[in-house]
Structure 1
Amino acid sequence: MRAALRTILQRFGLDQRGNIAVIFALTCVPLITAVGCGIDYSRATQIRSKLQAAADAASVGSIAKNSPAYLAAGTMTADGSIAAGVTDAKNIFDANRANQNGYTLTSVTPVVSKTGSTVTSTVNFSATINTMFLGVIGKSTVAMSGTSTATANMPLYIDFYLLLDNSPSMGVAATPTDITNLQAKTGGCAFACHDTSKKAGTSNYDIAKANGITTRIDVVRQASANLMDTARNTQTYTNQFRMAIYDFGAASATIGLRNLFSLSSSLTSAKTAAGNIDLMSVAGQNDAFTADKDTPFTAIFPAINSAIASPGVGTSSAPLKYLFFVSDGVADESNASCLKTMYNKNWGNIAPRCQSPINPALCTTLKNRGIKVAVLYTTYQPPTDSWYKDWIAPFNAGTWGPSPNSEIAQNMESCASPGFYFEVSPTQGISDAMNALFRKALADARISG
């Protein structure tokens, strides 16, 4: 019996029939488990990708321009959370996952806040999905999570101060055609001086008005009004830009910095005020008030410097500051330290009268305070009289338009902050140049901020 049993066992051990079925049975469970794991994880990955896309849409959309968070941030005077943005982000997330099923959302946490001039939105989410195959190895659910962060730079707040030269020299006819027409009406003078000593309707100023002849101050007036429209159409927030308008005085009798329009975010009111920009009136040749010295840069610039508060970082409570200076760049004032001594063989010594290119050092104080100075040089127009030939022509080489030899142009450019100098000839548009300076200021502010 023992021998027979031993023989049976030996035969059974050596018998290989049916091995494939046994091996398949032994490997079937882990094989099915591996395939199932792949299916479950692939399904989980697809669902997570769609939830991640919803989170991305929520973080970006909740701080998009004109979104509740973006608009709310513009009214905040301090850093902090933006409740309207949190609600908006949650709504955007839910809207973008509405058609997705097969999971259980366990949490979604939007955080929207303002820090300085930056708005940040972060959306975190977590979810689980029920597995179909992983349950074989005891894993009935798969957890997933994700996060998405977006940032947006807020538009910077900027205060613009317009300093407009309205001295008599800005009464020159605006274009070569206007000059020709005015000279024909005045017996050869191209300047529409606002001379109040003459009978009404007989001054060059009145003649220019009556004959539809455009002068430089007319163009500056319209350009300033147009600038207010540009600012209003550009701003994101209704109080993002504030404007102030200054000139050199209504008359030689009251010459000095004059506030035509106090700093305000009401750009419609600023446009109305711009309509009042006009040429300074003088009480005739060699008037008793200034003796024709009607462009006192050395008094105007310290005054405008005092009028402009310290610049900030571009927030609503601390706006950036830009000065737009529009002038033909020639001083005419009582100034013993004049850049150009007024003496020549034809006229003798008439010091301390100073008639010379602007001193760029007058702008340095402003620039050192962090105020950006934008200069629009309305090129000084050469009349044909002997005074111009003796006093202005020596430092105004070149006639119609830009000239590298003009000391006036060189000094005006030196007055400007880098990149903020525009030169406009009689055939060019002052309004276009002023709008270009405005756009340049916005671009510079974003880079600097």
Structure 2
Amino acid sequence: MFALSSLAVILFVGLALDYGRAIASKGVLNTAADAAALAALAAAESDYAKGLPASQMVSDGQAAAQRAFIVNAGSIYANLAQAPTIAVAQTGRTINATINYQANSPNLFGNLAHVSQMTFTGAAAASMTLPSYLSFYLLLDVSESMGIPSTASEISRLAAINPDYLNLYPGGCTIACHFTAYAACQNKQGATVMCQGYNLSRTAGGSGSPVSYCPQPGQSNCIQLRLDAVAYAVQQLISTAQTTATLTNQFAIGLYPFARYMESYQTLTTNLATVTTAASALTSLIDNGNGSSAIGSGGTHFENALPSVNGLISSVGNGASPSSPIPFVFMVTDGAQDSQYQVNNGSWSGSNNATTLNTANCTT
């Protein structure tokens, strides 16, 4: 009886060993299927970055998946009942890859019970959203109020310099204007003085060499204005674009400052280093009152700027290629209403769109 029962015990132990071998084989093939799915996506993404058509992405993805499955399966690949089924498809901006297989694991002891092999199946799936080509149109307010220092402490620093030396501003002027036209800087006695707020903000009231750009508040050699802060933010956006891009020329950026009108200061380009350099000179565009530039002078005329930038966008793409980018418009403004006034002498007209006041018509 012991001999007969020993045969049954040995058979069960053998079947357990066969099952363990089958589970180990399935683990190897599951790993191979995972690797194949990821390889398919990598190949498809590479083709996408090269601008190849979807049909090429699918065929190359399937070939890469087949190679990855064979390499990772090793000798266990021989246990497959047939070649794995590999499907790669693009749906909109998404690539999907699925791998299915069926394998047989030969039994060493199972034959004693007329069980020659164990059959098992497995599957793996992966998907990814393809990166998009994007265009950023930065509509930047450069009207007079963008010459206000960026923080309360920077305002106090500028006021302490008392830049215009006017008895109208005994506590110091708190806007870094450089309005020298139209007698905008006359004092109560009618004497014309220079509006020096902008110039002094470039040296923090010192005698050193002026800077065109003050990227941070609290610097000893300059006082950061609102437009300086905008320029710094633009540069940080560009830096983020450069570090996160996964495709060549994935992002295009253009700078479009506006006051009375919008100007294509830096047209849309994928050369982001060029845009970074252009951003550092934005502060020099603050409205100086002469209206001689393409930006004009006077106020924050977004009603002119928005239609102008809209006219630059010929079409809205799907982001699938550099020639079909998805456009985004960012309008950056402090939201301040910049009204202009002239008292008694002179007349502002044209792009200035100012209000002229005649004190002879006023009563006290």
Question: Residue by residue, what CA displacement relative to the aligned partner does 1:245-279 show, whole Å, maximum 9, x if unpaired?
Answer: 11116xxxxx4111122222222222122223133
1:194 to 166, 174, 178: 178
Partner of 2:235: 225
- Gaps of at least 5 residues in structure 1 are 1-19, 250-254, 335-341, 343-352, 356-449
CA distance in 1, matches of 2:52, 2:318: 13
- The separation in 1 between residues aligned to 2:252 and 2:307, in whole angstroms, is 21
Partner of 1:206: 199
Does 1:156 find its partner at 2:132?
yes
Q: Which runs of 5+ in 2 are unaligned?
A: 166-171, 184-191, 206-221, 342-352, 356-364
Higher radius of gyration, 1 or 2: 1
Question: How much identity, in percent, do the aligned residues show?
Answer: 30
Over 3 Å counting, the alpha-carbon distance change for 1:354 and 1:31 in structure 2 is farther
Distance 2:116 2:194 in 1: 98
Report the counterpart of residue 315 of structure 1 in structure 2.
Answer: 320
State the shift of 1:29 in Å: 10
2:31 counterpart letter in structure 1: A
Residue identity in the other structure for 1:54 = A
What amino acid is aligned across from residue 271 of structure 1 in structure 2?
T
- Look up the SS of the partner of 2:282 in the other structure: coil
TM-score computed with the length of structure 1 as normaliser: 0.56
- Larger mean CA deviation between 218-227 and 83-92 belongs to 83-92
CA distance in 2, matches of 1:31, 1:229: 70
Aligned to 2:47: 72
Residue of structure 1 in register with 2:311 after alignment: 306
Q: Which of these residues, 307, 329, 334, is aligned with residue 328 of structure 1? A: 334
Q: Is the 8 A contact 1:158 1:314 kept in 2?
A: yes
Partners of 2:157 and 2:25 in 1: CA distance: 78
Letter of the 1:207 partner, please give it: L
Match of 2:86 among 110, 124, 127: 110
What is aligned with 1:8?
Answer: none
Q: How many pairs were matched up? A: 306
* C-alpha deviation, 1:89, in angstroms: 2.6
SS in 1 for 2:249: coil
Classify 1:110/1:304 alpha carbon distance in 2 versus 1 (closer, same or farther; 3 Å). same
Given that 2:262 and 2:295 are in contact with CA atoms closer than 8 Å, whether structure 1 keeps it comes out as no
Post-superposition offset of 1:192: 1.7
Question: What SS class does the counterpart of residue 191 from structure 1 fall into?
Answer: coil
Query: CA offset at residue 125 of structure 1?
Result: 2.9
Q: What is the DSSP-based 3-state SS (H/G/I as helix, E as strand, rest coil) of the residue aligned with 1:189?
A: coil
State the match for 2:286 in structure 1.
Answer: 280
Q: 2:300 — aligned with what?
A: 295
Give the direction of change, closer, same or farther, for the CA distance of 1:37–1:201 in structure 2 (3 Å limit): same
Match of 1:128 among 69, 94, 104: 104
CA distance in 1, matches of 2:296, 2:17: 95
| Aligned positions of 1:24-423 closer than 5 A | 40-41=18-19, 43-60=21-38, 62-63=40-41, 67-76=42-51, 78-80=53-55, 81-98=57-74, 100=76, 103=79, 106-135=82-111, 140-183=116-159, 184-187=162-165, 188-195=172-179, 197=181, 203-210=196-203, 211=205, 212-248=222-258, 255-278=260-283, 279-283=285-289, 293-316=298-321, 318-332=324-338
Contact 1:131 1:140 in 2 (8 A): yes
Query: Is the 1:71–1:237 Cα contact (8 Å) retained in structure 2?
Result: no
Q: CA distance change for structure 1 residues 354 and 142 in 2, over 3 Å: closer, same or farther?
A: farther
Cα-to-partner distance string for 1:210-234 (whole Å, 9 max, x where unaligned): 3322221122122212221111112
2:264 is paired with a residue whose SS is strand
- Deviation per CA, 1:137-166: give whole Å up to 9, x if none: 776555544321111122333322111000
CA contact (8 A) 1:79 1:115 kept: no
| TM-align CA RMSD | 4.1
Measure the CA separation in 1 of the matches of 2:75 and 2:132.
Answer: 39
TM-score (norm 2): 0.68
1:131–1:142 CA contact under 8 A, matched in 2? yes
What is the alpha-carbon distance in structure 2 between the residues aligned to residue 290 and residue 148 of structure 1? 58
Q: Would the alpha carbon gap of residues 61 and 202 (structure 1) be closer, same or farther in structure 2, given more than 3 Å must change?
A: same
Change (3 A) 1:169 1:28: closer
Task: Check 1:38–1:62 CA distance in 2 against 1; reply closer, same or farther (3 A cut).
Answer: same
Asked if structure 2 preserves the Cα contact closer than 8 Å seen for 1:296 and 1:331, the reply is no
Contact 2:62–2:86 (8 Å) recurs in 1? yes
Change over 3 Å in CA distance of 1:291–1:105 after alignment to 2: closer
Does structure 2 retain, via aligned residues, the 8 Å contact 1:131–1:141? Answer: yes
**For the residues of structure 2 that align with 1:200 and 1:274, how far apart are their CA atoms?**
31
Q: How far off is 1:62 after superposition?
A: 4.3
What amino acid maps onto 1:192 in structure 2?
A: A
User: Post-superposition shift, 1:96?
Assistant: 2.8
- Secondary structure of the 1:263 match is strand
Q: Measure how far apart 1:107 and its partner are.
A: 1.5
Structure 1 residue 123 displacement after superposition: 2.1
Q: Which has the higher contact order (CA 8 A, sep 6+)?
A: 2
Shift in Å at residue 171 of structure 1? 1.0
Q: Decide which moves more: 69-78 or 324-333.
A: 69-78
1:227 match: secondary structure: helix
- The question of whether the paired residues in 2 share the 8 Å contact of 1:173 and 1:190 is answered with yes
Residues 124 and 270 (structure 1 numbering): CA distance in 2 closer, same or farther, change over 3 Å? same
Tell me the amino acid that sits aligned with residue 240 of structure 2: T
1:127 CA displacement: 3.4
Letter of the 1:98 counterpart: G
Alignment partners' CA distance in 2, 1:243 and 1:90: 40
Take 1:152 and 1:29, find their aligned partners in 2: how far apart are those partners?
Answer: 54
